[in-house]
Amino acid sequence: MAQRVQEEDEQMTSTDDLIQAQIELYHHCFAFIKSTALRAVIDLCISDAIHRNGGAATLSDLALNIGLHPTKFSHLRRLMRVLTVSGVFSVEDHNGEAMYTLTRVSRLLLNGDGERTHALSHLVRVLVNPLTVASHFSIHEWFTIEQAAAMTPFEVAHGCTRWEMIANDAKDGSVFNTAVVEDSRVAMDIILKESCGVFQGISSLVDVGGGHGAAAAAIATAFPNIKCTVLDLPHIVAEAPTTHSNIQFVGGDFFEFIPAADVVLLKYILHAWQDDDCVKILRRCKEAILARDAGGKVIIIEVVVGIGSKEIVPKEMQILFDVFMMYVDGIEREEHEWKKIFVEAGFSDYKITPVLGARSIIEVYP
């Protein structure tokens, strides 16, 4: 039987098909190289080097700017070749020498001086992190071994939860919290330009798990009449900047208590939790907000798998993000999965507005 299947398989596979299949397999295996190359150019501050050089730089310019070891010149060329083919940087011939410039992607990697509204270099450091990547090599154990199945892949790989590591490692926690601030600034800039109506008519808002208050600051600046409260764990809010007079920081556990307000904001929170925990969080939110006819609602900013841009990159990002979140036993949900937890938490209706490409605003009503 096995021999016949093998013979049929060989007959059905032409040489061209076999070559293409092998190429595709190699391509899938090497996909992580894009990520590690991206992390390398962030750590080397390549985008900043190009920016400081007037927006265009040769390899020699980059080598000088980043303090490249003289034996690594050709290696830098090879690294940049990966990222120009991937579209992260642009390259043109300039008198026989490669000249690199920034693209819309590599501009997001600029650090520069001061606070940039659209900077995501720390976010990349969180997403392309050896600790996180190592967790995904524990998926086989997590799927098949009973003891491992009771933990998250991160726990299987490192012996503690992701949140425990963030709390106990000051440097790791600082990078993580800065990444949250960066992502919040970009997201809120888009939302306040494209869907600011979601915050109209609100007098008070609680940003649950709001970290250092980047989202709340953007809302309070755009809507000075909204009194904003940021709820997060005590060790996180203790380090939050007090730069906005209309924002109050509260240390606490959102499973236990959420301060009362017209509206609760949950930005990239629920995807880190399984359904039972999400229901508990949403029930706390429902206790905190006004009735629907008084303007009460929960605003969720998350991926809704299958909703949003139909282009291949955003669609693929949703699916990849879903598997990425397995490292903390999280999940990116489809609409029917969102509806299930809304109903179980006692909410009556919801509205999805896809404004962030691969992510959406979900307004949930009591």
The catalytic site residues sit at 271
Return the axis-axis angle of helices 73-85 and 31-43, rounded to nearest 10°: 120
299: which residues sit within 8 A by CB, 6+ positions away? Answer: 198, 263, 264, 265, 266, 361, 362, 363, 364
9: which residues sit within 8 A by CB, 6+ positions away? Answer: none
150: which residues sit within 8 A by CB, 6+ positions away? Answer: none
Q: What share of the chain is helix, strand, coil (3-state, %, to 5)?
A: 55, 15, 30
Could you identify the residue written with the tokens 């390899």? 59
- The two tokens of residue 80 are 């940049």
Torsion of the alpha carbons at 329, 334, 339 and 345, rounded to the nearest 10: 10
Are 187 and 301 in contact, with CB atoms under 8 Å apart? yes
Q: Which helix (H) or strand (E) holds 61?
A: helix 59-66
b/e string for 144-183 if b means 16 or more Cβ within 10 A? eeeebeebbbbbbbbebebeebbeeeeebbebbbbbbbbb
Are 66 and 44 in contact, with CB atoms under 8 Å apart? yes
Instruction: Residue 205: count other Cβ atoms within 10 Å of its Cβ.
Output: 25
Torsion of the alpha carbons at 301, 187, 33 and 141, rounded to the nearest 10: -20
